[in-house]
Structure 1
């Protein structure tokens, strides 16, 4: 018999979070579109580096938001993807796209 470690999260909190993440997704998608359209070569290597960094950061934000939205939809939001334990609500409030509990995140970063 397996034990379900998924947290019991308040449904209204999850609905608000989903709406907030959807807004963030729209904002980041618009930003990515703008950055991609402005991808003109100015001849300045520093500017090209900054542009590339902004594109990468925006794509990572979109990926994190999409992942969180998918986990909300499939019912796995709030469960550590490494150990399966509940991620504390405080961590999720600060970092809504968190995939790991703190101990597992520390192991992941090593």
Structure 2
């Protein structure tokens, strides 16, 4: 186990295992969805989807897969649950709501791309 799991400011081992299970499930769901969309894209009528819509949904699935894989990698490295900007622990509630979160809510609000998307 990593030092992050034993530190009182980080989630304990039990919530971490639950978060890992959530991430693994999300990875499986998004991978299955991407596979389904890829099959639809090859069908004559695209499974009832507009080709541009299929492209957008596939890209969204790819992004979710990448975010989830990155979170699982951070778990294996012992850096999961620590804000990438301020290096403080990300609250467990935020991780439960967004298991792939890389930043605490405060730092996320300060990020330039977040400000552009909100405006």
The TM-score, its normalising length taken from structure 1, stands at: 0.83
**Superposition map of 1:2-17 within 5 A:** 7-17=9-19
Instruction: Please give the alpha-carbon distance, in whole angstroms, between the structure 1 residues aligned to 2:81 and 2:58.
Output: 28
Q: Which residue of 1 aligns with 2:105?
A: 102
Match of 2:57 among 35, 54, 65: 54
Count of residue pairs the alignment pairs up:
104
- The structure with the largest helix share of the pair is 2
Is the Cα–Cα contact under 8 Å of residues 42 and 48 in structure 1 kept in the other structure?
Answer: no
For structure 1, the residue ranges without an aligned partner over 5 or more in a row are none
Is the Cα–Cα contact under 8 Å of residues 94 and 101 in structure 2 kept in the other structure?
Answer: yes
Match of 1:22 among 1, 24, 31: 24
Instruction: Please give the alpha-carbon distance, in whole angstroms, between the structure 1 residues aligned to 2:76 and 2:28.
Output: 18
Residue 65 of structure 1 deviates from its aligned partner by: 0.8
Q: Which residue of 1 aligns with 2:68?
A: 65
Question: Which structure's relative contact order is higher, taking Cα pairs within 8 Å and 6+ residues apart?
Answer: 1
The TM-score, its normalising length taken from structure 2, stands at: 0.77
Quick check: 34-43 or 9-18, which moved more? 34-43
The 4+ residue runs of structure 1 with deviation greater than 2 A are 40-43
